[in-house]
Structure 1
Amino acid sequence: MTGTATVVGAGIGGLATAIGLRRAGWTVTVLERRAELERHGGAFGIHPTAQSALDRLGVGDALRDHAVPYRDAHIRTPDGTSIARLPLERIERKAGRPELLIPRFRLLDALVAALDTFGDVPLKLGERVTDVDATAAGQDLVIGADGIRSAVRTARFGDRSGPRGIGTVAWIGTADFESPVYGETWGSGRFFGMTPVEPGRTNWYATVPEATTAEELRAAFAGWHDPVPRILDTTDPATWIRYDMLHLYPALPSFVAAGTRPGSPVPTGAGPAPVALVGDAAHAMTPNLGQGACTAILDAEALTRALATAPPGPAGIAGALRAYDAERRRSAQRTAFGSRTLHRFMSTERTRLRNAAMRLLPG
């Protein structure tokens, strides 16, 4: 079927959803509260399942033009001892393609370029949505892709689910040299990760219970194996990004809703346009599994696929939204729970027990 939709949020999930809807023949408008797209940040790991979803959205080739494969990475102790390998070889063997790493801005640019090819999808920057009912007026569907502090989610589900801190500070940045090793180093209550991102550059990320300055972050990883201190010493702290790690809690009972009453069911007749949530608006998670971008892409593709094959009319939209929720909610929420559980495991101070457990994993 076709219809009219407004996508609130122009991140990875919002842009991918807009592309999928427009490919299905929908009339689409994208609203973004920022005056500019959020191009800063590190690298995204794109799992083969998300790569396949991007292929179905017509963006797979653009991804591969700028991505690098991720094939060899280890989990190490602070002295550099390898205790496990990341399962990258198994992923590639099973899927027939490797995990890919791409800078955030490259993926964002690829999605914007794909949207631009249609020539008729307005991308309105500096448009903050405060009245979801007004945004929904005259539309067949509203997509909430507006992040962990989603105005669309709050309007339709209330504020029971919202951002929750986990007591950890994260930092990300890019070093202008290629690391001799990749993967993650797990210490007591903190960890440091390094991945390839582009030739001659290394994406890095670090988490600590608390570190408010560059000096404190450097001190937290002093004495760790090369190139961890070197990365922190030779990169400009002005380019680092610091944020408190958050996740969406408690999990939502549904990714779709309608009406002005929080949690009201998807309508099958007249009334306010229904909404569907994608990405962080639906299931924001800690970054430990590196699946935030992937789940947003999978959400977008599943939602737009369901809508493309639905019969026309409100009942068709309602059925498509139920199908989307059934396909994606439990899967995405399991991933979010797994990521939060992994964070606890990685950040434990009982390092001897943790490291012994990791050594038992298959190579």
Structure 2
Amino acid sequence: MKIPEFGVEGWLNVHEREAKYDLAQSTITSFSMNELVKLTDSDVYGELDQQKMNYGWIEGSPTFKKEVSKLYKNVDPDNVLQTNGATGANMLAIYSLIEPGDHVISVYPSYQQLYDIPKSLGADVSFWKLHEEDNWYPDIEDLKKMIRPNTKMICINNANNPTGTILDRKFMEQVVEVAKTVGAYVLVDEVYLPFDDSVDFAPIIDLYDKGISTNSLSKTYSMPGIRVGWTATNSELADLFRKYRDYTMICSGVFSDQAACVVLQNRDKVLARNKKIVLDNLKIFKDWVERTPKVSCVFPNGVSTSFIKMDTKKSSIDFCRDLLKDTGVLLVPGEAFDVPGHARLGYCAPTETLKKGLEVLGDYLEKN
């Protein structure tokens, strides 16, 4: 199996430890364990003292499954499978369903897994392109033209990585109608929950029986360090995924499951903390864009990632490399998403890091 280098992950793997001002991440400011314990008033360590360090619950504990099922309208806890982050969830779904000769449609640009893993498995992949001039929305008419009798799956980020655009309920209902014409699955990576109350967001499993919702605690819930994600599907797909899951992972681990349960059981407190970070930092970011001549942005829908367009003398990859070396500010160049001239900017870093990083970035843009 041949597969290209993973652009965004390859860049971060090399450079993220060099950053003084890390504005590349799309996680809302990560929790420390101390902060999580204080916020939730939980006895994580006391409970952990009583745990046997065995494999634990293979598919995720009953508490975990129940709490995840509450995020959807009609998903039985038994149809929730714990995975190694959303990357594991996406991999599980694609690995279980895609075969050589299948046709897959993927939103583009998006998280690279969603098109390069199907390609590596022998699928024919068509790109359903986002349009910057249309607020990074795709055209539903383009999807209708792309659909084929052998289209097995439509793959979407919602919200999109890197742009932060949310495809709303009405639009996703149109996607479902197109998918139904050929019986295609719709896989949606939903790791970014919008904190913009004006956005009507709906998980795909709430809209379509052949929808596959993947998610994790890494972005919206600020806990990437425990590497917990999940798939939420109908019972037929859950049973199919179980077979393939046995080949790819055993469990997430006792501690990770326990920490995940604390986060999910205290979801309201966690989301209140994170909504404030997102909306406060987004205002700082918008103000900076408005007063910085060489930058423009289609602002995200209250999610933690954004995609700026830069007017620079260099390519965006050279600019980002030199920016890091000269100032310590880390962005992800647009080339990692096959969109030169842009950069992913994670504005949900700690607020002081964001303010200083943007100040340094603005000064550097003026000179380059």
Query: TM-score, normalization: structure 1?
Result: 0.23
Query: TM-score, normalization: structure 2?
Result: 0.23
